[in-house]
Amino acid sequence: AQSVSQHNHHVILSEAASLELGCNYSYGGTVNLFWYVQYPGQHLQLLLKYFSGDPLVKGIKGFEAEFIKSKFSFNLRKPSVQWSDTAEYFCAVNPRGGGSQGNLIFGKGTKLSVKP
Amino acid sequence: KAGVTQTPRYLIKTRGQQVTLSCSPISGHRSVSWYQQTPGQGLQFLFEYFSETQRNKGNFPGRFSGRQFSNSRSEMNVSTLELGDSALYLCASSLAGTEGGGTQYFGPGTRLLVL
């Protein structure tokens, strides 16, 4: 079965530290990839997405992610985090074609706590 | 454009009852997907509707059902509620639907508590 793994359940950083959240998926075919963020008390918001082309994608609020096809990975990065980045981050994969269901498969999420 | 709206936002039911949740997608979006979010299982796909037809279905029992109307608004129904159905139910809309590679935009969710 297709699955998405997020390696860290809870990450605690100080402001200005660099961030990298890991995401790996299991599916051999073409995929669309997403990172969503859920701030405390708010709904899921799209952070960035990858459909095709340049594997390094930039999103909102200074976030970026790199798609490495050979590693089935789509890691999220930010050079310098802020207290306002405290949130839960979800990686999601949309398998394309080959009889796949086509729905979004989510990782379990990574809670990021940024200390001021 | 207004975002995805869901009603009601909070709901308390007792075991054995049934519940109907509503979702209004972003104007122009024809696809609506539903997800269940729980602390233990995370976000799990329930089903997707596109142009009033169920196009995809997740691995949930038949007690979970849905429908979509001609204006793209969608409802999901859960019959014979169980304690384990307590969750945040999220609705997401997109232009093309997931099979078309569309980006899904999420609503605030309906928090259901089953006592």
At residue A104, the pLDDT reads 87
Say yes or no: B45 contacts chain A, CB-CB below 8 A: yes
Looking at residues B35-58, what average pLDDT do you find? 91
> Hey, are the CB atoms on B106 and A102 less than 8 Å from each other?
no
Distance from CA of A38 to the nearest CA of B (A): 10
Q: What is the DSSP string of A45-78?
A: EEEEEE-SS-SEEE-GGG-EEEEEGGGTEEEEEE
Mean pLDDT of chain B: 92
B83 CB within 8 Å of a chain A CB:
no
Q: Is the pLDDT of residue B101 over 70?
A: no
Q: To which residue do tokens 């359940």 refer?
A: A9
Per-residue model confidence (pLDDT) at position B85: 97
Task: Report the pLDDT averaged over residues B43-63.
Answer: 91
Residue B111: partners with Cβ closer than 8 Å, 6 or more residues away:
B9, B10, B11, B87, B88, B89
- In chain A, residues with a C-beta closer than 8 Å to the C-beta of B104 are 104
**DSSP type of residue A79:** S
Amino acid found at A107: G
Facing B90 at nearest CB: one of A42, A44, A107: A44
> B84 or B97: whose pLDDT is higher?
B84
List, in order, residues 6 or more apart from A2 with CB less than 8 Å away. A25, A26, A27, A93, A95, A100, A105
Mean pLDDT computed over A43-58: 94
Whether residue A57 is predicted with pLDDT greater than 70 in this model: the reply is yes
Give the residue-averaged pLDDT of B83-91. 97
Q: Whole-number mean pLDDT of chain A?
A: 92
| pLDDT in the model for residue A99 | 45
pLDDT at B98: 56
Residue range B15-29, pLDDT digits in tens: 999 999 999 999 999
With a cut of 90, say whether residue A30 has pLDDT above it: no
Residue A56 contacts residue A82 (beta carbons within 8 Å): no
Residue B64's φ and ψ, nearest 5 degrees, are -95, 120
**How much is the average pLDDT of B53-72?**
93
pLDDT in tens, A71-100: 999 999 999 999 999 999 999 998 876 444
Measure the CA–CA gap between A95 and B7, rounded to whole angstroms. 30
